[in-house]
Amino acid sequence: MHVSFNIGVLISLITSATATAMPYGIGCVTDIDTNGSVGVGDVLTIIDSWGTANAEADCNGDGIVGVGDLLMLIDEWGVDCEAIHPFTDDTAVSFDYPGGFVVVMTSGIPDHPTGPFDGSTGCNNPNSVTDQNRTIYIPMVPTPTNNPAIEYLDQPGPLSVSTNGVAMYNPYDAGGVDAPSSICFDEYNGHPSADGSYHYHQWSPALDAMEADGHSGVIGYSFDGYPIFGPWESDNVDAHNGVVNPLDDCHGHTDAIRGYHYHASLPYSEDPNGFPWIMGCYHGEPEIANFDTGGGGGGCDGCAQLMIPPPICNCVHNAPGYEYCCMNWDSACQTYAEQFCGAGFAPPEEPSNRFPNNRPPVKRPPPGR
Ligand SMILES: [Zn+2]
Ligand SMILES: [Zn+2]
C-alpha cells in the first residue's frame, strides 16, 4: 500500500497549532504537537524551524532552534509524556489538549495520616476529613496578568492543588485570621474545614521534594497553571528571604530553568515571617471552573472573603468608622466583630491556640540536596 501525504500541509498544521508549553514537571518538553508522545511530527517542526527563533520549536529556550532542541527530543523519544508529572498515585491525571488543561481528579484526602483533631495532641477541630471528589483544571499555558479574574486573598476554598491532591488555601481561615499563626494543624500542617475539606495554608512536611541544584521540588500547581515549589531556592537559602532573586507580591519569581514559579515559605513554626505562606496573588489568569461558585456561608466565612492583607484584618475594616481596626484593634472592634463572628472571636495578632506544647515538631527538609 502506498501512503503519501503532503509534508508542507502537515508542517503548516503542526506549526499553526497553539504553542503548548506544559507546566514545569508535567509532560514532555519536546511534545510540540501535543499528542502525548514525542515523534515524527515534533522532529519535522524542529527541522522546519531550524535556525529560527520559533518559540514552539525552541524547546530548550536558548533563543534559536538547533542541535540542543534535537538532543532534547532524542532524549524524550518514545517516552509516555502523559506519565511525566509529580502527582501521587491517589490522583488521576489526564490531558485535555484541545481544552489546554491538565486535568487532576482527586478526593482531596492525602496519602499521609491526618489528625488527630480530638485534642489528644493539643489540636481541637470538630470537622472530619471527607472525600471532596474534585476535578481540577490546570492550564497548560499560563496567561500572565496584572488583573486576574479571581482575587486570591479574597477567595475561600481551594486555590491550588498539592502533588498529593490536597487543596491549598490562602493564608486566612474563617473569621479572617492568619491561619498559620493562629490555628492548630496536624503534624502535616493540614486541617479540615466544616465541609470536610482537608487543606494546607502553608508548606507541609509531606511535600519535601528537592531538585539536584538545591532548589526545592514541585509541591503543587496553582489554578493559573504555574508550579509551586517548596521553601528552598538553593542550598541554605529560602526563597522567601532570598535577595538575589527576590519573590514578588504573588510570592513567585522567574528563573531560566523553571520559568515563573511560586515558592511556599518555611512553616510558621520555623519562620514566623513567612506570610503569605504559599501565594499572595495569582500571577496568571486562574481557571474559573476550579472555583466553588456556591453562595458561601456568610458570617465569618463572608468576612474572610472581604479581608485585605497584611497586617491581618477581618471583616471589620470594611465597616465605615472601623477602618482603623486593621491597625489598632480595640474593644469597639471586638464588639463589632462579635456581631458577625460570634462571642470570643479571636482578633488578629492575638492567636488563642498557637502551638500546643505537645504538638509534634514539624520536620524540616534538609537544606540543599
Ligand atoms: Zn483552614
Ligand atoms: Zn525559585
Q: What is the mean pLDDT of residues 337-361?
A: 46
Percent of the chain, pLDDT > 70?
75
pLDDT value at residue 207 = 95
pLDDT-derived band of residue 116, with 50, 70 and 90 as boundaries? very high
pLDDT value at residue 272 = 95
How far away, in angstroms, is 238 Cα from ligand 2 center? 9
Q: Render pLDDT for 244-272 as a digit per residue (tens, 0 to 9).
A: 999 999 999 999 889 999 999 999 999 99
How far away, in angstroms, is 152 Cα from ligand 1 center? 15
How far away, in angstroms, is 262 Cα from ligand 2 center? 7
How far away, in angstroms, is 84 Cα from ligand 2 center? 21
pLDDT value at residue 156 = 85
Ligand nearest to the CA of 193: 1
Range(s) within the chain of domains with CATH label 1.10.1330.10: 7-83
Q: Render pLDDT for 64-75 as a digit per residue (tens, 0 to 9).
A: 999 999 999 999
Chain mean pLDDT for the chain: 81
Q: Inform me whether the pLDDT recorded for 112 exceeds 80.
A: yes
Helices (H), the chain: 7-16, 40-48, 67-76, 179-182, 299-305, 331-341
Three cell numbers at 208? 519535601
Look up residue 189 and give its amino acid. Answer: N
How far away, in angstroms, is 222 Cα from ligand 2 center? 15
Phi/psi-derived region of residue 214, left when phi > 0, alpha when psi is between -120 and 50, beta in every other case: left
How far away, in angstroms, is 189 Cα from ligand 1 center? 10
How far away, in angstroms, is 266 Cα from ligand 2 center? 14
How far away, in angstroms, is 308 Cα from ligand 2 center? 26
Higher-pLDDT residue of 238 and 308 is 238
pTM of the model: 0.75
Ligand nearest to the CA of 159: 1
How far away, in angstroms, is 183 Cα from ligand 1 center? 8
Three cell numbers at 305? 472573603
User: Ligand 1 is a single-atom ion; what residues have CB below 5 A from it?
Assistant: 173, 179
CATH of domain 7-83: 1.10.1330.10
How far away, in angstroms, is 168 Cα from ligand 1 center? 9
Higher-pLDDT residue of 21 and 233 is 233
Ligand nearest to the CA of 261: 2
How remote is the C-alpha of 24 from its chain's centroid? 12
Three cell numbers at 112? 499521609
pLDDT value at residue 320 = 62
Q: Is the dihedral of CA 31, 37, 38, 42 positive or negative?
A: negative
Q: Inform me whether the pLDDT recorded for 298 exceeds 70.
A: no
pLDDT value at residue 333 = 74
Ligand nearest to the CA of 238: 2
How far away, in angstroms, is 260 Cα from ligand 2 center? 8
pLDDT value at residue 49 = 95
